[in-house]
Amino acid sequence: MKPIHLNLASRPYRDYRPVYAVVVVLSLLTAFLMLNNVETYYRYHRETGTTREKIASIEAATAAERKKEQAAQQRLSSLDLARLDARAKFVNAKLYERAFSWSTLLDELESVLPADVRLLSIAPSIKPGEPVALDLRFESRSADGLEVTMERLGRDPQFNDPFPGSETRSETGTWTFSIDAKYLPPALSSDAGTIVSAEVQR
């Protein structure tokens, strides 16, 4: 005799446990991904905030430097550059005048001049990067004083290109003459030019 199985359910029985398990796993995975996204967002916001602060600081510093540059340009444009240049040249001229050694020049001329020739005056012209131009006036007791002085100046390495000027004879029988020459001082720094004149009497 076979056993009798009674099914009183209104619908067939189905096992949903695998479905529930999948739903739970998917829910947990979704929650994990959501938390990860939230963490990534906050980290990005924090890092970009620091970067934005650095950029803002750099922009502020750049703006400050631009303002300083504009202020400097305004001050520079308000200056009288021509007047400043003239003052600088004047100061340089005084410095070069002080740098010029009169004693060295006079000692050199004394060693060159003949015994019967006397120096009356010197007018040096100092220019940057050039030998000192000399306008020399002499007095001699002999008629060949000009020729002898020219020859001796030409032999001295510190005097170049001697050129004769005027020559006159006085009532007392002395001869007065002038010579232009280039003088190479031992040391003379020059960036600007000046003209200095002096009278030397013996």
Same domain for 125 and 157? yes
Same domain for 50 and 106? no
* Phi and psi, residue 138, nearest 5°: -130, 165
Full domain range(s) for residue 110: 101-199
- Three-state DSSP string of 13-60: CCCCHHHHHHHHHHHHHHHHHHHHHHHHHHHHHHHHHHHHHHHHHHHH
CATH number at residue 188: 3.30.70.2830
Same domain for 106 and 189? yes
**Cα 86 to Cα 54: distance, rounded to the nearest angstrom:** 48
Lowest mean pLDDT among 81-85, 167-171, 176-180, 185-189: 185-189
Same domain for 75 and 112? no
Is 142 contained in some domain? yes
- Which is more confidently placed, 147 or 98? 147
Instruction: Please tell me the pTM assigned to this model.
Output: 0.49
pLDDT tens-digit readout, 174-201: 999 999 999 987 754 343 344 444 444 4
**Cα 99 to Cα 47: distance, rounded to the nearest angstrom:** 66
- Which is more confidently placed, 102 or 159? 159
pLDDT at 152 over 90: yes
**Final residue of a structural domain among 46, 79, 112:** 79
* Residue 182: predicted pLDDT: 92
Same domain for 129 and 194? yes
* pLDDT band (50, 70, 90) for residue 68: confident
Same domain for 184 and 147? yes
pLDDT at 172 over 70: yes
Total domains, the chain: 2
Same domain for 175 and 116? yes
Q: Considering only CA atoms, which of 138, 137, 99 is closest in space to residue 116?
A: 138
